[in-house]
Amino acid sequence: MVETTLDKEFLIKLIQNNTSWSESLLRGLKEESLQEIYEYIETGVVIGKAKLTMNDQRYQVVFRIPKQIATEMNVSYGDWFGIKLNIDTQEVAFDKHGKKLLKLGKGNKLLLPSTLMSKNLLRPKDDVLVRVDGDRIIIKSFTNYQ
């Protein structure tokens, strides 16, 4: 964990050096949020960025697991995930060994339940931070970091 608080500009440069995220995305985040993301990088947590999309035929939100996360978790087509919502931290966790609720589709895509939208945890077309926590994939909307 980082003991000191770093300057916002310095944090943006450090995060950009470790990810391929745009400077404009990082500038829109609060300093505390940048500090949190940098702590993930410092402690070796695998992180990524994804964009939620809409499945127009079923009116469902689709989450595509980034390749680096899928590789780290060793997940592929047909794997099942449990899902847990944390309203306090505004996070959604997909548990590889949880209750089999969501099946990983082609292209590492998960069709998300509409309850996530009704609880305002995620919105269609949101950008989300994706991180690996043991056997779980945790996502949090960048909207909650602003």
In a domain, 61, yes or no: yes
Q: Are residues 94 and 72 in the same domain?
A: yes
Same domain, 16 and 85: no
Report yes or no on 24 lying in a domain: yes
Digit-coded pLDDT (tens) for 71-99: 888 988 989 999 988 888 888 899 988 78
DSSP state of 31: H
Flag whether 76 is in a domain: yes
Query: Which residues is 112 bridged to in the sheet?
Result: 61
Residues 54, 37, single domain; the answer is: no
- Asked if residue 53 is part of any domain, the answer here is yes
Residue 129 and residue 99 share a domain:
yes
CA of residue 29 relative to chain centroid, distance: 15
Do 117 and 92 fall within a single domain? yes
Q: How confident is the model over 6-19, as pLDDT tens digits? A: 678 888 888 888 88
pLDDT tens across 28-56, in order?
888 888 888 889 888 888 898 888 887 76
Same domain, 22 and 79: no
Q: CA 37, 42, 43, 47: dihedral to nearest 10 degrees?
A: 40
Range(s) of the domain holding residue 31: 8-42
Residues 29 and 77 in one domain: no
CA distance 68 to 102: 20
Q: 54 and 28, same structural domain?
A: no
Closest CA to 12 of 33, 27, 30: 27
Do 18 and 51 have their domain in common?
no
Number of domains in the chain: 2
**pLDDT > 80? residue 4:** no
